[in-house]
Structure 1
């Protein structure tokens, strides 16, 4: 199958080419990291790099199942037969214990520009923080955004595409199944099982997979709602599957480290400080969420909120949940712009605000922020009543999702 371009990430890699830093590409399983390396290899060849100077090694291959760091180092060094510039594309690097020593040795001893992918933040951060601290740049890859999804599928009807996107998500191998629900859910289940076995179990030592799955499904089912660890503990106990708070927190950390979920912490909008507990957790992809808890027509509101959250992450925002007195703001999103100034968004998400009570509820917290620095927005699927109202922008969500800002 022909690889489909993902310029958002490929351009970042090409901009960092030969900059003296190791490029570390992170993200959940099957989000497109390996394809991105292949696309990079193709671009390097088209730019005149000899193909035998592009060394692509996928450590998931059975060929490397028993490799240790010494064997990996020797294999790579054996492929470099002159002193010209080489490009090393090393896929799923966390599978080799001590890989950071190999990479550091190559950085020091060889004329090589190094690109790595990894699917476990815990293992990567532990290893990157030692020998490679200050010597790498991380490029985070996400599942297809809705705008990418439209280009990837060639779907011309935006509403039809969004309904499909809400149901099946944006993981490329799932999107490739079209609208075949059975095949899509088979692929999604396989991805989840791989994440559990390869990226979580190996360091969490999960003794009771059923409890772990219960915690995962609870987070998926309550996406967009504050999560109480004690409430999860009580729920497990009532199902005769007891687990301590520490165990539950460890499982949640594992899901975050495997990039399967994102955490949105609560922030006091007035004071700027973080509030303890009751964070929200969002699955990294709507298809994963629906595989875990099933898709229902009434889920449009929560799924829209999930998609907006993930879009903000894709655009490089740090995303929190805002609290102000007794009111909540769905998202307080910050990022540093190209001119090094801080951009802040205050966003409410609602499938519709045509009902007057819903409209008042969504507007109220944003009205109270009239002195705050940042853009105030309501994202909705409505196509009427859009525009600026008292400095608050009411924007159609599909327009916002398909136009980068």
Structure 2
């Protein structure tokens, strides 16, 4: 098991507190693995295994408890039979209708006797009634697929002796879905697994959950988004594209379907921020995919679109390191990412530009220019796959693979 220390270290301070620990993220991103890691941590602290109650509501054995009264009765009976504090691990809780009533009832009934951990595959898990019932009584953690350093660790665990640079070439195509990383599968089998995961996200977390009336339109729309990750487009431009493809759709439908895909963690929207004006711009978000391996499995072209995939990888890395990320605009230029994180001394901001290779003086000038336009003193970083890098005018130039493996940045 790959220990995801960045997430585990975030959770540990909240263990044995009354706050409900909620882990959300795309299907198969490792949320169940996180519950196992927390259990292993507790066992090392001499908590007994019989103090755990673990349920995964995608398993058929727990189907009788998908009705919330039945679940509540079962858990109450189990808790009363256990001596000492009880640790509840409820996986894919969104499969239980009105599950929020159970969580709130257990919290109110047993109070400090229970420590509750739940996972779900939809961002709306904490919206509506759950947020109302538990206002201020939960803490949320978003779990993403493996970043590159975790991918390397996983490949090393199965005796993969390729260099880090060679592993990065594989990561470009395979992505970081945890199950795949520790498997010695043929490439075709990897693609089939990722396609199955993607189709499961589309069917269970979007079509069924949101009662989508036009599944084919949804699939066409998401294929368009996957093909244009990191590129600016508007709902109007998507409608025009679909019309040219013989598909009629309204702007409202496109926006709704995009919102549903975001809620399912399939795609990640980034707002654009005017650095000079110090304000977010109101239109034309950029979208990225939660795992670039899914993109390769569905539309291919990761190698051909390598600049876009590198951006996607850097975005996921920044988010895994706890940064809030937006796209920067400075005068007529665009900065790929503004990354911000709250620290002990205030906001820690970094500007990040991503490129494939600085193959010419013109390319070097083009990639450095947006960062040079920024007048404040926050760190400015250019990431490329060049093996030899050189800083310029206060801008750090680093090899992207080395940066991904540098946990101290």
Class of the TM-score when normalised by the shorter of the 2 chains: over 0.9
Deviations 1:166-214 (A, max 9, x none): 0010001222344522111111111112111221123321122111111
Structure 1 residue 5 displacement after superposition: 2.1
Counterparts of 1:91-110 in structure 2 under 5 Å?
Answer: 91-110=91-110
Measure how far apart 1:251 and its partner are: 0.9
Alignment of 1:20-31 (within 5 A): 20-31=18-29
- 2:233 aligns to what? 227
Whole-angstrom CA distance in 1 between matches of 2:155 and 2:228: 30
- Tell me the alpha carbon deviations over residues 141-186 of structure 1, each in whole angstroms, 9 at most, x when there is no partner: 1100001111111145111110110001000122234452211111
The answer to whether the Cα contact below 8 Å between 1:94 and 1:124 also exists between their aligned partners in 2 is no
What is the rounded CA distance, in whole Å, between the counterparts of 1:380 and 1:122 in structure 2?
36
Matched with 1:73 is: 72
Verify: 1:294 aligned to 2:286, yes or no: no
Give 3-state SS (helix, strand or coil) of 2:304's partner. helix
116, 119, 124: which one pairs with 1:117? 119
Cα displacement (A) at 1:340: 4.8
Counterpart of 2:368?
363
Q: Map 1:5-404 to 2 at 5 A.
A: 5-66=3-64, 67-80=66-79, 81-82=81-82, 84-110=84-110, 111-154=113-156, 155-156=160-161, 157-178=163-184, 180-337=186-343, 339-369=344-374, 371-386=375-390, 388-404=391-407
Measured after TM superposition, the shift of residue 83 of structure 1 is 5.6
Q: Secondary structure at the match of 1:298?
A: coil
Tell me the secondary structure at the aligned position of residue 322 of structure 2: coil
Q: In the alignment, is the contact (CA less than 8 A) between 2:274 and 2:330 conserved in 1?
A: yes
Normalising by structure 1, we get a TM-score of: 0.95
Gaps of 5+ in 2: none
Q: 1:221, 1:293 within 8 Å by CA — same for their partners in 2?
A: yes
Deviation of 1:363 (Å): 1.1
- Deviation of 1:82 after TM superposition, in Å, equals 4.4
1:344–1:373 Cα contact (<8 Å) kept: no
- CA distance in 2 between partners of 1:23 and 1:255 (Å): 24
Residue 22 of structure 1 contacts residue 115 of structure 1 at CA under 8 Å; is this kept in 2? yes
Kept after mapping to 1: 8 A contact 2:172/2:293 = yes
Q: CA-to-partner distance for each residue in 1:92-111, whole Å, 9 max, x for gaps? A: 11111111111111111111
> How far apart, CA to CA, are the structure 2 residues paired with 1:268 and 1:26?
30
Question: Quick check: 1:167–1:295 contact (8 Å CA) kept in 2?
Answer: no
Instruction: Show CA shifts across 1:281-306 (max 9, x none).
Output: 00011101112211353222111111
8 Å contact kept, 2:51–2:82: no
In the TM superposition, what whole-angstrom CA distance separates every residue of 1:61-100 from its partner, at most 9, and x where no partner exists?
A: 1233353111111111111214620000000111111111
Contact 2:51 2:83 in 1 (8 A): no
Deviations 1:356-391 (A, max 9, x none): 11111111111111x3131111101001233x3111
The 2-side partners of 1:38 and 1:82 are apart by: 20
SS at match of 1:152: helix
* Count of residue pairs brought into register by the alignment: 400
The farther-off stretch of 247-256 and 287-296 is: 287-296
| Alignment CA distance shift 1:363-1:89 (3 Å) | same
Deviations 1:257-286 (A, max 9, x none): 111111111111112211121111000111
Sort the Cα spacing of 1:58 and 1:296 in 2 relative to 1 into closer, same or farther, 3 A: closer
- Normalising by structure 2, we get a TM-score of 0.94
The CA distance in 1 between the partners of 2:133 and 2:3, in whole Å, is: 33
Provide the rounded CA distance (Å) in 1 between the counterparts of 2:202 and 2:182.
Answer: 23
Q: For 2:3 and 2:14, how far apart are their aligned partners in 1?
A: 18
CA shift for structure 1 position 46:
2.9
SS in 2 for 1:295: coil
